[in-house]
Each structure stands twice: as structure tokens, then as C-alpha cells.
Amino acid sequence: MLNSYRKNPLLSISIGILSISTLIVFVATKATYNIIEMTSIWVRNHFGYFYLYLGLGCVLLLLAIALSPLGKIKLGKKNEKPEFTIWAWTAMLYSAGMGAGILLRAVQEPTYMQQNPPYLSDLSPEILALEFTFYQWGFTAWAFYGLFAMIIGYYLFVKKKKVLISSTIEDIIPNKTARTGIDVLTIMTTVFGLVAAIGLGTTQINGGLNYISSSNFGLMATLLLTTIISALAFYSAWKGVNKGIQVLSKVNILITLAVLLFTLMQSNIPKVVTNFITATFQYIIDFIPLSLAIGSYDPGIAFLTDWTFYYWAFWLAWAPFTGIFIARISKGRSLRQLLLGVLVIPSLGTFFWFSVFGTSAFQLIEGWGSYKGEFDGVFSSIFMFFGNYPFATVLNITTIVLLIGFLVTSVDSAVFVLSMFSDNGKKEPSKKHRLIWSLFIFLATIALILLGNAKPEVDTLIAAQKLLIITSLPFAFFMVFMTFVFLKELLGHHRNYSLGPKKEV
């Protein structure tokens, strides 16, 4: 194994940086947190709005490509059919790209926005709350993923290049060392985003167990949960896309739909549907001013930092591995199918999810006559919510199972993609690489959880927010450069094709 490290600079450098970073957190946890806190404030003050402009640009660009003649370009041969059905494809991309997050925020975020409106509006607090929640979970998040899926899919299936981010700019930057640096940056961004998600998810599972059992499982329980999830993710990644990731993703989505349907049946269905349609329409017409945070749509720097900047940094951190995974499963689809599918299908599904849980929570609060912060806890809100419904224990246990399942499918997808990176861009990486990345992601997650416990007033969520705002920034700048290079290549491809004898790509 040591010999493979020496022959693989991308793997050895990435593991080296990750090992040193993890060791520093173990040895100097409080000092590390203080440095992250100061740096995150600097990034927020100087580059916070850059995240907003980047997100809007991605959405508009993807829509323009999808609706233009460029959208006809197929990822693969002209007559090649998609490798996966639309059902399997949607299940895998949603499980990899969103998953546990919709459980983490299902109740807490809409109720927070209702009780603390981000800005003054003529809309009702409920519609405004859903609209802003849609904004933070909708088109922009999936545009970051879709951009990478489109670019990597094009270079992988059309240009026949390796599954590496550096493959997208190798004609512009021939220097191998520089390209390795870009791949290392991609790996580090991916690892930090993934580790944050695992840390948040395991902390929520721990909160659920505490609520169900009326116990107080602490740090050791969270660490044990992290170990279990990492082991399951490794097994799934070891089995591969068809035998592991696809099957588990379908199971996750089926259970999620069952929970959603049960909650909907217990709710005021006409009110849910009305709120869904109204808030979705409002979100679409307000999308550009929301994305620019201008005029009356500006919630202020403090609110943006705690919410939107953090979310955009999170989606950016997840974009490389989620986008590449989506590209990997999108062979045979046109750019139009890929982009519209990625932007629209999961966004509408997420909007309906938040409409069901948000509207139901609003009605509970209205029935109580007063709100005392019952749903304020990020890690416990959904469990307290289900406590008001029949079969509460069954629902809460199912939620914990779902959290574990979604975390596993996110981690196994990331392990698979990281293994493709480090194994010379192979579409089917060796199992040795899958083992290496499973192990180091596990250790890095343990480090983040310890970091989140560095101060009494700090939790894992706060630690993850501050870390992601920093680590996503360099990659955001590279993403702009990568996109310009890709657009030049894509326009040249379309121009050459238009002059040729073929009628379609």
C-alpha cells in the first residue's frame, strides 16, 4: 500500500493534508475553532455576496443551455439509451444530493422563517416562510450540482477523458503539477462538505434517540453512530453503483414517500396544496431579487451569513462529488434531459416536502395558541413534530432509519467518486481506494464532531457552517474559470457539428 501512495501523488498529497488537518484538530481543538471563526468572518465580509451572484449565474446558465440547441448534445453515442431508468436515476441523484438534510430542516426551517421573517413582505408569514425555504433548497442548490454533472459528463462521455476535475482544463493548463493541485483542491472541498453532513446527521440521530428514549446519549453515542454509518457506507461503495448505491437509494426514496404520504394524510390537504402552489409561484417570480438580496428582499448580512451564505457554501462543497456522481449515472441522456431533470424534478419534490411539513407545523402552532420554541432545535424538531401524530414512536424510529440510510447513500456516493479521482480517473475504481477513502472520511468526521464540542456554546452545526464558508471559497473561484473553459469547448463542438453532415448529436 505504501508503494501505491508513492506512485499516486494525488492520493498521497490529499491523504497527507487530510491527516495533518485531522491531527491538528485532535491536538488543538479550541485553537483550531478560534482560527476558523476569525477566518469565516473575513470571508463573509469580503466574499459573502459573491456566493449569491455565483448561484444566480449558475441557474441562468443551465436554463440557457438546456433550452438552446446545445441541449441536444448527448452524453454518449447518438443512439445510446440511458443506463438507468428515470426512477432509478432520480432516486440516486436525490439520495446523493440532498438526503438527510430534508429531515434535518423539514420542520425547523419553515417554522423559524415563520416566526422570524427574513424581511418585511406583503405575503403572509406562512407563504414567506415557505418561499424563503424553497429559495435555499431549490434551483440554486441543484444548479451547482447540475453544472458539474454537465461539465464532467461532457468530458467523460463525449470527449472520452478521465473522471477528474482537471480533465476539464487540461487543454488550457498543460502543467501536470497545477492540474494535480486542482484535483487536490476538489478532493479537500468534497471531504469537508461530506464530513460536515455526516457530523450534522449523526448529531440529529443522537437527538432522536435521546427524544425517543428520554435519555441523554452524549458524545460517545454520536461517535458510535459515525462508526456504524461509515462502515455501512463502505460496504455499499464496495458493492458498487448497481448492487449497492442504486438499491439503497431506491429504498430510501420509497420510505421517504411513505412518511410524506402519512404526514399529508394527517394534514389539511387543500391547505398544503394551496401553500405549495402559491409559495412555488412566488418563489419563481421573486427568484432574481431573492438571489441578489436587493431592495426589500435583503434580509441583512447577519441573516445571510447564518442561512444563505452557509447553504450556498454547503451546496458548493457537495457540488464536485454529487455532480460527478450524477454525471456517472447520466450516460445516454442529452444535456437538456440532464439539466432540466436535475433542476426541476428534485426541486419540486423538495418544495412539496417542505409544504407538507411546514404547513402541518404552522397548523400545530396555531392550534396551541402560542409558540414556545418547540421546533427550534435543529436536531430534535422533527421528532417533537411527530410526537403530535398517531404512531409517533414508529414515525420517529422510521426517521432515524431514514437518516442513517440517506447518510449512507451520500457517503457511499462520495467514497465512490473520491476513489475515481484517486484511481487515475477510472469509472470503476479499485476497492482498495474505496477502503482508503472510507477510513479517512471516518477519521475526519470524528475530528469535526470533536471540533463542534470544543466550546460549551458551540455545536456541530455552527462549526460546520464556519468551516464550509471558508473551504468552499477557493473552489468557487475555480468553478468560474472551469465554466468559461467548458463554454468555449461546448460552443466549438456545436459549431463544428452544425457545419458537418449530421443532423443531430
Tell me the domain boundaries of the chain: 2-499
Q: Identify the band that residue 240 occupies on the pLDDT scale cut at 50, 70 and 90.
A: low
Averaged pLDDT, 425-430: 78
pLDDT tens per residue across span 80-133 = 888 888 888 888 777 766 767 788 889 999 999 999 999 999 999 999 999 999
Could you tell me which residues come within 8 angstroms of residue 266 by beta carbon, excluding any fewer than 6 positions away?
360, 389, 390
φ, ψ (nearest 5 deg) of residue 49: -70, -20
d(CA 234, CA 6): 24
Longest dimension (CA), the chain: 71
pLDDT tens per residue across span 39-61 = 888 887 888 899 999 999 999 99
- 220-224, 247-251, 353-357: which is most confident: 353-357
Contact 460, 223 (CB under 8 A): no
Of 88-97, 277-286, 352-361, give the lowest mean pLDDT range: 88-97
Q: Pick 136 or 452 by higher pLDDT.
A: 136
Q: Into which CATH architecture does domain 2-499 fall?
A: Up-down Bundle (1.20)
Helix and strand totals (H; E) in the chain: 20, 0
φ, ψ (nearest 5 deg) of residue 74: -100, 140
Q: Identify the band that residue 274 occupies on the pLDDT scale cut at 50, 70 and 90.
A: very high
d(CA 415, CA 9): 18
Q: Identify the band that residue 183 occupies on the pLDDT scale cut at 50, 70 and 90.
A: confident
Of 121-125, 214-218, 457-461, 467-471, give the lowest mean pLDDT range: 457-461
Could you tell me which residues come within 8 angstroms of residue 404 by beta carbon, excluding any fewer than 6 positions away?
205, 228, 229, 232
pLDDT at 503 over 50: no
**pLDDT reported for residue 490:** 86
| DSSP element (H, E) containing 212 | helix 176-213
Single pTM value for the model: 0.86
Contact 80, 74 (CB under 8 A): yes
**pLDDT reported for residue 96:** 67
Contact 212, 397 (CB under 8 A): yes
- Judge residue 349's burial from the number of C-beta atoms within 10 Å of its C-beta, 0-12 exposed, 13-18 middle, 19 or more buried: middle
Compute CA 273 distance to the chain's CA centroid, rounded to the nearest angstrom: 26
Q: Identify the band that residue 505 occupies on the pLDDT scale cut at 50, 70 and 90.
A: very low
